[in-house]
Structure 1
Amino acid sequence: MDQPTSAAPATAPAPSAAGPAGGGAAPGGGRPGARLGPVAMVVAGGLSVQFGSAVAVTIMPSAGAAGVVALRLAAAAVILLAVCRPRVRGYKPADWWTVVAFGLAMAGMNGLFYQSLDRIPLGVAVTLEVLGPLALSVIASRRAMSVVWAALALGGVALLSGGGFDRLDPVGAAYALAAGGCWAAYILFSARTGRRFPQADGLALAMAVAALLSLPFGAVGAGGALLEPRTLALGVAVALMSSVLPYTLELLALRRLPAATFAVLMSLEPAIAAVAGFLVLHQALSTTDALAIALVIGASMGAVRSQERRRRRTRS
């Protein structure tokens, strides 16, 4: 996911916004339309993330994957630091290590994901990436039903690979899967950072760490192309679309939307990515690919729903 966004089902089913939001919120009331606004915010955030990724692909020929990542993270860090103005005093070393780990996971997730986008279609990349959070969810659950969702997801991956990842480009698929592993780490450290830092301060600081880690690779890979006006403008646009805007929308939505509902909506990211890839990049998917993506989405939603029912039974 490009995401830091971006969330997927896990033990705490609001991962990508766990940092800025600090957790889920109570339902927005009993009226049928009470949750329509927050739902629209989550969907809009998903659209923004994935179309931002599609825009990023268009500047890879000039700036390269590493250059795009550096531009995106640097611009997002500047914006978030200016808006949040996080204080840097009064924290323990353990707090700063958490922020550094969060930033490292964020840099790895973005860097690996954009490397995959340079080799495989956007919808396929997001589908493979979402397996990281899904695996975290299954491992944390430790219930028999989790095996069903895992098998469903693996069935989707088998369809995507067509019997072998060489159909996709094995390197691109490996990058996407590795990005999924970083996404799982991102979820864990996002939640820890949200508990240690107020509001979105931890997110802004972690974004700065991720930007500092990515800039040297971007400078080496893209060189002077990073300073071209068109590249800079599109890089800022990608930062706004893929980081700042979705984080803000998710933060607002989680104040009125149950965390489980949020996670189910975020499970639609692969489908949104496939649409963005088709409309912006003209990356058409086969019927088999569409079915594979649907299987992974179904597994993701099923894992969230199973965990929510388990929590309700535990509370009862």
Structure 2
Amino acid sequence: MTAVDVATSTARRQRTAPAVALILGSMLSVQVGAAASTRLFDDVGPAGTAWLRGCWAALFFIVIARPSLRWLRAQSRRDLAGAVALGAVSAVMSVSFFESIARIPLATAVALEFLGPLSLAVLRRTGRWGLLWPVLALAGVLALTRPWSGGINLAGVLFALVAAVCWAGYILLTQRVGDSFSGVKGLAIAMPASAVAAAVVGLPQALPGLSWAVLAQSAWLALLLPVLPFALELLALRRLTVAAFGTLMCLEPAFALGVGATLLHQTPQPLQVLGVAFVVTAGIGAQRTGHR
């Protein structure tokens, strides 16, 4: 190995190590934010919690991006429609996910929701190995839900699967919005649209339990999810390839397992741990054999 190769390898490691830390921090923030959100369920309900968090996130992104009316008029209708569609899909995803974790363990909900991006990666697969990942993911889902035991909450599973479909749509729309807008200006449109869409079911749930304490809690929850994760992921993507980023994000169900056990006292069974491992492995394999 030449001196140039050594220097290049060292520089790559110096860029990659901080980026990995950023991604790990992002996933931890997402799962801690989701677990902490359950404390508001008794006051404002799962959908109400999702709506309040969305309202604060919209406000934060508007302050960060500062979109003007002149700037909005300069955007094409197609680009604006894409941002609004991203907001609507985000609203359904958030409400469905919170309704899910109100009924089933966090790790199970996240693993089921992860089937959305996993399905996209499988559809984009290249090579014969791509056929293995759906089978492995299915085995993981069966180990997590254990339908033969009769103890699974069907509504919780269905909400998680709705969130999975929305997550797949969210990825596709985020790519489109990211290509159409600079910085976070697209999210300054998408997040208000998401808050408006979530208000349909979230506002009736939240109104009876609204208080200053609830508003304050939902504000810092919005910082945990999605403001802080988005900022960390944005910084990480400047140092990582999309493939490496996607592979690291496949660890999300494993983070959910640890956070659920630590903060929510949801002790998993050995078979459920194996199920999460199957889903994570399937996600990593599909990401490494796929393309954008």
**Do they superpose with TM above 0.5?**
yes
- Separation in 1, partners of 2:192, 2:220: 18
Please give the root-mean-square deviation of Cα atoms over the aligned residues, in Å. Answer: 1.5
Q: Paired residue for 1:18?
A: none
Say if 2:78 is the partner of 1:94: yes
Q: Paired residue for 2:55?
A: 74
Match of 1:217 among 201, 213, 236: 201
Q: Paired residue for 1:190?
A: 174
Q: Paired residue for 1:58?
A: 39
1:186/1:174 CA distance change after superposition, 3 Å:
same
Match of 2:230 among 233, 236, 247: 247
Letter in structure 2 aligned against 1:274: L
- Work out whether residues 74 and 215 of structure 1, in 8 Å CA contact, stay in contact via their aligned partners in 2: no
- Tell me the matched-pair count: 280
Counterparts of residues 1-316 of structure 1 (less than 5 Å): 30-31=9-10, 32-86=13-67, 87-141=71-125, 143-164=127-148, 166-226=150-210, 228-307=211-290
1:200/1:181 CA distance change after superposition, 3 Å:
same
Gaps of 5+ in 1: 1-28, 312-316
Q: Paired residue for 2:4?
A: none
- Separation in 2, partners of 1:142, 1:128: 24
- Work out whether residues 48 and 242 of structure 1, in 8 Å CA contact, stay in contact via their aligned partners in 2: yes
- For residue 15 of structure 2, give the secondary structure of its aligned residue in structure 1: coil
- Separation in 2, partners of 1:164, 1:58: 31
- Separation in 2, partners of 1:176, 1:56: 16
Letter in structure 2 aligned against 1:48: S
Q: Deviations over 1:239-283 (max 9, x none)?
A: 000100000000011011111111111110111111111111111
- Work out whether residues 165 and 173 of structure 1, in 8 Å CA contact, stay in contact via their aligned partners in 2: no
Higher gyration radius (CA): 2
Q: Deviations over 1:97-145 (max 9, x none)?
A: 1112111111111111011011001111000000011111112326432
Show structure 1 runs of 4+ deviating over 6 A: none
1:193/1:221 CA distance change after superposition, 3 Å:
same
- Residue 196 of structure 1 deviates from its aligned partner by 1.2
- Separation in 2, partners of 1:266, 1:179: 17
- Work out whether residues 70 and 215 of structure 1, in 8 Å CA contact, stay in contact via their aligned partners in 2: yes
Q: Deviations over 1:57-82 (max 9, x none)?
A: 11111110011001111000000110
Q: Deviations over 1:23-74 (max 9, x none)?
A: xxxxxx6213331111101100100000000000111111100110011110
- Separation in 1, partners of 2:38, 2:147: 27
Q: Deviations over 1:278-309 (max 9, x none)?
A: 1111111110100000000000001111226x
- Residue 221 of structure 1 deviates from its aligned partner by 1.1
- Residue 166 of structure 1 deviates from its aligned partner by 4.2
Gaps of 5+ in 2: 1-7
TM-score normalised by length of structure 1 = 0.85
Letter in structure 2 aligned against 1:305: R
1:165/1:132 CA distance change after superposition, 3 Å:
farther
- Separation in 2, partners of 1:283, 1:232: 27
- Work out whether residues 93 and 167 of structure 2, in 8 Å CA contact, stay in contact via their aligned partners in 1: yes
TM-score normalised by length of structure 2 = 0.92
Q: Paired residue for 2:3?
A: none
